[in-house]
């Protein structure tokens, strides 16, 4: 089925470890983004990309890196995991249309990360 695929679904890391959360979409969406979801805080934007080779920071970028080498993939790297990065991570994608993002976004099913 077309959509946004995230792997893994669950992950436990020790403090200081690094890892990459994978995100892939097969809808040829130009725009991709990463959010983290924390209780009572909704979702907050970490990084986003408007096309291959172009990335930018969102609201909470510290401790995370991204790259966009292809239209389909947008991995999120945790450089040195900290307990404060325990969260649920969502990848989302969208077309970029003239006049804005009125089509809405397609979200992956999420990665639940625990840092101990």
Partner 1 sequence: GDSVTQMEGPVTLSEEAFLTINCTYTATGYPSLFWYVQYPGEGLQLLLKATKADDKGSNKGFEATYRKETTSFHLEKGSVQVSDSAVYFCALTAGGTSYGKLTFGQGTILTVHP
- Minimum CB distance to partner 1, residue 11 (Å): 16
The DSSP code for 85 is G
Among 62, 70, 101, 114, binds partner 1 (CB under 8 A): 101
The b-or-e profile of 45-54 (16+ CB within 10 A means b, else e) is bbbbbeebee
- Minimum CB distance to partner 1, residue 15 (Å): 26
Contact call for residue 98 and partner 1 (CB under 8 A): no
Q: Residue 61 and residue 75: Cα distance in Å, rounded? A: 14
Spatial neighbors of 42 by CB under 8 A, at least 6 apart, are: none
Among 45, 52, 60, 82, binds partner 1 (CB under 8 A): 45
Q: Residue 53 and residue 57: Cα distance in Å, rounded? A: 14
- Minimum CB distance to partner 1, residue 95 (Å): 11
Which residues would be at the binding site for partner 1 (CB under 8 A)? 4, 31, 33, 35, 40-45, 48, 50, 58-59, 90, 92, 94, 96, 99-102, 104-110
């Amino acid at each position: 089925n077309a959509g946004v695929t995230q792997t893994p679904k669950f992950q436990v890391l020790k403090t200081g470890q690094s890892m990459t959360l994978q995100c892939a979409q097969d809808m040829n969406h130009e725009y991709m983004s990463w959010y983290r979801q924390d209780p009572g805080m909704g979702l907050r934007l970490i990084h986003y990309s408007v096309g291959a080779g172009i990335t930018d920071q969102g609201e909470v970028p510290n401790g995370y890196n991204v790259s966009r080498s292809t239209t389909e993939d947008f991995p999120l790297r945790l450089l040195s995991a900290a307990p404060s990065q325990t969260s649920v991570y969502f990848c989302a994608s969208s077309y970029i249309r003239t006049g804005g993002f009125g089509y809405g976004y397609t979200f992956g099913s999420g990665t639940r990360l625990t840092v101990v």
